[in-house]
Amino acid sequence: MAFNIAIDGPAGAGKSTIAKLVAKKLSYIYVDTGAMYRAMALYFLRKGIAPQDEKAVSAACDEITVTLSCESGEQQVYLNGENVNGLIRTEEVGKATSIVSAYAKVREKLTQLQREMAQTTDLIMDGRDIGTCVLPQAQVKIYLTASVETRGKRRFLELQEKGTGCRLETICQDIKNRDEQDMNRKLSPLRQAEDAVLVDSSFLTIEQVVERILEIVEEKE
């Protein structure tokens, strides 16, 4: 049986940075499920389908094929055969993703794909519902979180580095809204699985979080 590590937590807690590093250390495949939801949202936006229109979004789901590949150690997301990695990280796509990821048809499609991948491959998968819903049998479950202020500051610095003007207050408010949406939706809301280990990264360096997770994995292996 494949060894699966599930990492869930709110936006900006550092899941993908940490999961990538842990995957490298363990020579596991890293699967960023948020990117899969983002690729689907990009499709709806391009088609002019309003994210709020659940009926239209659900009807269009069958037109979409999302595939992942690992190229030079980096996950690449393909939307109907097109590499959309560089197009899915915008605020517009992020907001649309938070809305469409609440729909049953969207979740069913990606959950099935994620389970298929995890069956045969040792992997570390990050998202919102991996430990609670996608891989309830995962050998290791981590709930990685950080305070809104910490996550806001990290995002603020990231945007500043890219030369994008922004206000810290606005970013923190956006984070709160995203948390609210992800935690209070009916289907697969973001929450800590009962058997997940809580790791709060607010006052930890990236290296410390990676170390902590590797310790947890070692205990379970």
Site residues, ligand DC (CB under 6 A): 11, 33-34, 37-38, 97-98, 101, 127-129, 178, 182
Indicate the residue among 98 and 150 with the shorter CB distance to ligand DC. Answer: 98
Report residue 78: phi and psi, to 5°. -115, 130
What is the closest distance, in whole angstroms, from the C-beta atom of residue 77 to ligand DC in the complex? 11
> Which are the contacts of 70, defined by CB distance < 8 A and separation ≥ 6?
29, 30, 76
Torsion angles phi and psi, residue 201, rounded to 5: -90, 10
Residue 28 structure tokens: 């596991």
Buried-exposed string 168-189: b where 16+ CB fall within 10 A, e elsewhere: eeebbebbeebbebbeebeebe
User: If you search the block for the tokens 């949406």, which residue do you land on?
Assistant: 181
Which CB atom, from 10 or from 215, has the smaller least distance to ligand DC?
Answer: 10
- Contacts for 214 with CB less than 8 Å, ≥ 6 apart: 22, 25, 26
Query: What is the rounded distance in angstroms from the CA atom of residue 200 to the CA atom of residue 213?
Result: 11
- Least distance (Å) from ligand DC to the CB of residue 167? 20
Whichever of 100 and 216 has its CB closer to ligand DC, that residue is 100
Q: Please, which residue, 34 or 51, has the CB nearer to ligand DC?
A: 34
